[in-house]
Amino acid sequence: MGMAGEHLYTHRVTRDGESIRSILRKELGMSRQMLIRLKRSGEVLQNGQPAYLNALAVSGDVLTIVLREEKTPAVDPEDIPLNIAFEDDYLTVVNKPPGLVVHPTKGYMTGTLAHALAFHWQTQGVPCVFRPVHRLDRDTSGLVIIAKNPHVQAVLTSQQHSGEWEKYYLAIVRGEIAATEGSISAPIARVGNGSRARAVAPEGRPALTLWQRLELFSGASLVRVRLLTGRTHQIRVHLAHIGHPVLGDDVYGGATPLIARQALHASEIAFTHPATAERVKVTAPLPADISALLVALSGGILGVTAADKRRED
């Protein structure tokens, strides 16, 4: 990153005879809208000299692209503790605690992740516009990616939709799942007007979830879930649909006094870095409340554990 609100990209050309416009589109994934902005600003350099987007490049040329933030941060900074799992000049990955809303809404105009990151970036001297690439429910913990400029946001959003992302969650569900792994393909639709609740319904949008059972308890199971689509409440709805709602999820049938929110944690995410093209994998350990629930289940708080059953057999 250069000055505040300024982002630099460099790219070494590997073949002859292609236009700079084509290289930016194919190699860096620049959108048409971004290319229009660059044409207007004129901040594309070829070997250090200003260049037209229609100019041809040859192998060995170095292209430098300067992106300037055209917006100003929309929320006021608030000093809210953050657990930064990964950060560089282009993006930030936060391990979000349960109870923290990702972005301001009608009911949460302050105290959100957006406000916390505004403070974090301000202390670094590089205030950025809050550009979440995806979201988590307020009471779901774990990894959230926030882009620091519109190009990074567009590239990561495209990766998410194309399946290039890998997103894994850990969930503790009610009941002992018999199989060791499986998939749930069931369309998800909104329930009623104005409600955030969702349900499996024929008129819904296609949704696909893969799951793997990691551990079995008496009356509960620990599963690792991979999202292949990103519908609202997808994991919670799908697991409830197969008769194993997430423990603590009082919306979809998993209510329990053992945990105050749904036992769902976004534990792993992998993506291709928009600037370096390297594969990035970020992990986040389980938060204290889910870890405590696992300890309680291991101790047989809902009855004898699966391990005890095996020993008795």
Q: Which residues are tagged catalytic? A: 137
Question: Rounded CA gap, 279 and 40, in Å?
Answer: 32
- C-alpha torsion 69→71→72→76, nearest 10: -120
| 234: its two tokens | 């997808």
Question: Rounded CA gap, 308 and 306, in Å?
Answer: 5
3-state SS, residue 243 = coil
Strands (E), 195-245: 198-200, 208-217, 220-227
Amino acid found at 100: L
CA distances from 287 to 44, 84, 171, 206 (A): 45, 14, 12, 31
